[in-house]
Structure 1
Amino acid sequence: MLLELKQDDGKVSGTFKSAGTSFPVQGTASGNHVILYGPRHRDRPFLEADLVNGELNSTGSSRPFHGTAAGPNDDLPTVAYITPPPIQPVPQNALAKTPPMGWNSWNLFARKVDDATVRTMADAMVSSGMRDAGYIYINIDDTWEGVRDAQGNLQSNHKFPDMKALADYVHSKGLKLGIYSSPGPRTCAGYPGSYGHEEQDARTFAAWGIDYLKYDWCSASNIYQEKDLQPVYQKMGAALHATGRPIIFSLCEYGLGHVETWGPDVAGNLWRTTGDIRDEWSSMIGNIEKQVPTASYAGPGHWNDPDMLEIGNGHMSEDEYRTHMSLWALTAAPLLAGNDLRNMTDVTKSILMNREVIAVNQDALGKQSSPVRKGDLEIWVKPLTNGDVAVGVVNLGATSAKATISPQDLGLHGPVKKARDLWKHATVNFTNGAYSAELPSHATLLLRISDKS
């Protein structure tokens, strides 16, 4: 990895580069102490370190980092440039008519995922009731990749000795298997990407029985510019289409390049609108707020993706996790759990498998809600297929607040005839056309409301 920095008084700026990624950094320097932030690390440092005797070593809670002065021969390998194809539409795959539901390995296991873990997660998806609640994709994230053989075919590594057998096992459970790659020469974790091997890798994935591909920009940023996003993703979209196998195409480009405007044209079924989520209130809320400008682009077959669910990973409160699930439902976001399905608490199960909330997310109309802010409260209204509306009121404040839902908030054609609290699983009554409830800090009131008896 290379960290190129320049200092101007107390300010520092530069670039972080590795085989898997490249991004600008900026921060401050005080004496020998430097604090750096990246574009996806704005609310906490990417690196905090001290420069001592010409070496840079991380301090505090930053990731472990040791840097020595680069020499004239220190550089990343040069990769031959491949010109992106001309822009042309890729046929739609007719998949993901509702937001995909499943599980992804990264949030909990990161680099430690392996064949045995995936199998036990598939088992738990069934035994826990998650599959029957609608979660069907078991998605392997980065670090499964091995090396390419003499013909250029990508092999899985020692952690995944037989990917076809693993896919068969997952399919035997009534589930589908997802996998991960990058349009760059390396993935974010530095493993082989699909650069220059798109058609070959698509055929490999299809032969293994893969049902879902997450395609992460990563090291493509070392080669291409933002203007190249569409043709680069188009290349893999066309390659997947050519296999004839139905494979969901998940674009992971962090919301760059106004992806919502061209995602469907490359046969994308979902696209990231944000950086990576963390199991923290500020990260979760920050990601969902980035959904708002792209709301009109969501719909059956093509969804905005604020990243995976952190529910059950232990760093937010029960109310905050219910808000997490409520907002992903109201924004028609993919529901990809990121927790350990093998030992969920009853509370975690009740949140992830709340079928009334899932029904809001999976509603066939596919409308993405946007908020109206009233002080510390946000009101989200999502139209549903049968004419009902789902209404969420989120308390963003640090103290309890009174939440009131009034007729003018709803967009119904007549007075409220029926209302149900989707977390309490109970009918609620509107008085004089309105309903009020006391809402704890970071909690959400989620109702399904109808103007029909």
Structure 2
Amino acid sequence: MRRTLGTIGIVVVGAAVGTIIPLAMPPAAPPQKLVKLNGSWLIVPRRTPESIAIGGIPRSFVLSSDGRTVKGEFRFNGWVYPIANMVSRSDGFAFDLTGNPPFVKTRAKLSADGRFLDVWIGDDVVGVAPFLARRVTPAELAAVERDAPRPDNMTKLPLPPLHAVSFKNLAPTPPMGWNSWNVFRETVDDKAVRAMADRLVSTGLRDAGYRYVTIDDGWQGKRDAAGVLHPNAKFPDMKGLVDYIHARGLKVGIYSSPGPVTCTGYIGSHGHEKQDAKTFAAWGVDLLKYDWCSASNIYGTKIEMQAQYQKMGDALAEAGRAIVYSLCQYGLYDVGSWGNRVGGHLWRTSGDSIEGDLWYAVDLRFDYDGNAAHAGPSAWNDADMMLIGIDGLTPEEYRTHYTLWTMAASPIILGNDLRTMTPAIKALVANREVIAVDQDPLGVQGRRVSQTGKTEIWTKRLADGSTAVALFNRGDAAATMTVRWQDVGLPQPKRVRDLWRGADLPTGAAYSTDIPRHGAILLRAYR
């Protein structure tokens, strides 16, 4: 999960610390405000400021100003980034954090008395700032940084020659389940994970196929003197949590990175692959999501990426437990052509679905759904976590979203809060006839067979000889669509089933229907 909006990533420092930054000084921002920037500022998530005290990663600004210029730096878990291009605005201060790749723009608004900053990560963000920077003394900041977990190796390590990792068919159909990131981000804890596991059972979603409960970023604590990674205080008994989930007929996923730190700064597995794989196996983990994150600051070629993922693939194969291996590397370097060779069972086709405009994230997957030739049992193109039940999409767009993931044979990993799930959302994600298309044992990924403007027809062969047919309207206006069976390479079906409506349709040489904007129809045509 390469995060930008609302999170702070890792970059390589690209300029000297302490660079003097001249400020544009419009009348709306008097110089004395700039003087109030002086000092150390500890950044915490606004909704959960206590997370710093229970295992979070310290992020801070250290700034000084003479009223006309500002110099300073942003500190993040051992890295230091100079602040550049700072300008005063009517709503605060906008600036860049320098590095390669470039940081997103950042904006901060100073309180009237200079006690805190509202901090936005991302340019022109509206609404409540996701972060709050409060003024601390240098001694307080030093204490927080001293107590934080730290990676023990932030440099390139020797890489093994490429080879085929011992491979097992651990995901014969696309994994289904729930992941903590979209709802909880770094605030995820033992109580929340148990609650979500219970809801999978009580709602019937477990029995519909949703089996994996994955703890995403934010569970990691520190390594001990022997290098063993322990959970932070939010997870006092990880083995007990895993046992609790297993006792409910579910499986457990966990998260790490081949880099020194994860996307939000927690300890990664860089240089500790075998240790961490053994730890995960001892806890009883069933799936590892392995997120590229800070590895991009150290390793920059396809071969290096393969070798880094191969190191963990080998470690998992030797750990003594069957663990599904999920490669989270944003679709880089034609991953489907080598994902199985490094031990992977699924791999991402693009960036994070949750970041930015949600319809754009769904619509993007029509064109970034992975190479279907590489897909099959234990070789899945992963379109990322589901957005269903999260504000930002219409009910029609939810249905299109699920239909596309289903036709693409993608893993179906829910990301909504199951405790507040509406009956309509539950009915959508629990539709057994639709799920059967995604989980079809033949393992064929669907393909686009027709496109006219913003409308598309996709087909997917199924194990019983039938064919799933999806009609998509990606446009901003309603459209009438017609599927002529012969035109999409199918004989006239003996039976046609509308899977979302749960109803049989009249048979004939063609089927025509009106589809709303951003809508979809999913059919199953039987020979």
TM-score bin (small chain) = 0.7 to 0.9
The answer to whether the 8 A contact 2:260-2:268 is kept is yes
The answer to whether the 8 A contact 1:144-1:156 is kept is yes
Which residue is 1:389 aligned to? 467
* Partner Cα separation in structure 1 for residue 157 and residue 232 of structure 2: 26
Which residue is 1:365 aligned to? 442
Deviation at 1:289, TM superposition (A): 2.0
Matching of residue 271 in structure 1 with residue 271 in structure 2: no
Deviation at 1:64, TM superposition (A): 5.0
* Partner Cα separation in structure 1 for residue 383 and residue 465 of structure 2: 26
Which residue is 1:440 aligned to? 516
C-alpha spacing 1:60/1:95, structure 2 compared with 1 (3 Å): closer
Matching of residue 321 in structure 1 with residue 379 in structure 2: no
TM-score by length of 2: 0.74
Which residue is 1:377 aligned to? 455
* Partner Cα separation in structure 2 for residue 208 and residue 324 of structure 1: 34
The answer to whether the 8 A contact 1:21-1:220 is kept is no
SS in 2 for 1:436: strand
Which residue is 1:11 aligned to? none
The answer to whether the 8 A contact 2:486-2:492 is kept is no
The answer to whether the 8 A contact 1:402-1:438 is kept is yes
Which residue is 2:485 aligned to? 407
Which residue is 2:175 aligned to? 100
Which residue is 1:298 aligned to? 375
2:105 to 25, 43, 47: 47
Which residue is 2:334 aligned to? 258
Deviation at 1:46, TM superposition (A): 3.8
Q: RMSD across aligned C-alpha pairs, in angstroms?
A: 3.5
* Partner Cα separation in structure 2 for residue 285 and residue 21 of structure 1: 36
1:157 to 222, 225, 232: 232
Structure 1: gaps of 5 or more residues: 8-15, 67-75
Which residue is 2:358 aligned to? 280
Structure 2: gaps of 5 or more residues: 1-7, 22-73, 111-116, 134-149
**More deviation, 375-384/96-105:** 375-384
Residue-by-residue CA offset, 1:318-345 (whole Å, 9 max, x unaligned): 1100111111110000000001112211
Which residue is 1:129 aligned to? 204
* Partner Cα separation in structure 2 for residue 22 and residue 340 of structure 1: 35
* Partner Cα separation in structure 2 for residue 224 and residue 65 of structure 1: 33
**More deviation, 140-149/29-38:** 29-38
* Partner Cα separation in structure 1 for residue 199 and residue 463 of structure 2: 32
Please tell me the residue identity of whatever aligns with 1:387.
Answer: G
Matching of residue 218 in structure 1 with residue 285 in structure 2: no
The answer to whether the 8 A contact 1:21-1:221 is kept is no
Deviation at 1:63, TM superposition (A): 6.0
* Partner Cα separation in structure 1 for residue 327 and residue 79 of structure 2: 16
SS in 2 for 1:347: helix
Please tell me the residue identity of whatever aligns with 1:358.
Answer: I
The answer to whether the 8 A contact 1:142-1:187 is kept is yes
Larger CA Rg, structure 1 vs 2: 2
* Partner Cα separation in structure 2 for residue 331 and residue 215 of structure 1: 22
Please tell me the residue identity of whatever aligns with 2:191.
Answer: A
Matching of residue 188 in structure 1 with residue 263 in structure 2: yes
* Partner Cα separation in structure 2 for residue 365 and residue 99 of structure 1: 11
SS in 1 for 2:316: helix
C-alpha spacing 1:324/1:153, structure 2 compared with 1 (3 Å): same
Residue-by-residue CA offset, 1:341-369 (whole Å, 9 max, x unaligned): 12211110111001100000001111111
SS in 2 for 1:164: helix
Which residue is 2:32 aligned to? none
Give 4+ residue runs of structure 1 displaced > 6 Å after superposition. 20-23, 29-38
Residue-by-residue CA offset, 1:270-299 (whole Å, 9 max, x unaligned): 00111000271111111342115x121111
TM-score by length of 1: 0.86
The answer to whether the 8 A contact 1:332-1:368 is kept is yes
Provide the aligned length of Structure 1 versus Structure 2.
431
Which residue is 2:160 aligned to? 85
SS in 2 for 1:289: coil
Deviation at 1:65, TM superposition (A): 8.9
* Partner Cα separation in structure 2 for residue 60 and residue 88 of structure 1: 45
The answer to whether the 8 A contact 1:136-1:176 is kept is yes
Deviation at 1:160, TM superposition (A): 0.4
Which residue is 1:352 aligned to? 429
* Partner Cα separation in structure 2 for residue 18 and residue 288 of structure 1: 36
The answer to whether the 8 A contact 1:277-1:287 is kept is no
* Partner Cα separation in structure 2 for residue 46 and residue 378 of structure 1: 34
C-alpha spacing 1:283/1:35, structure 2 compared with 1 (3 Å): farther
SS in 1 for 2:387: coil
Deviation at 1:149, TM superposition (A): 1.0
The answer to whether the 8 A contact 2:169-2:377 is kept is no
* Partner Cα separation in structure 1 for residue 97 and residue 479 of structure 2: 34
Deviation at 1:17, TM superposition (A): 9.8
SS in 2 for 1:220: helix
* Partner Cα separation in structure 2 for residue 344 and residue 419 of structure 1: 31
* Partner Cα separation in structure 1 for residue 280 and residue 105 of structure 2: 36
SS in 2 for 1:358: helix
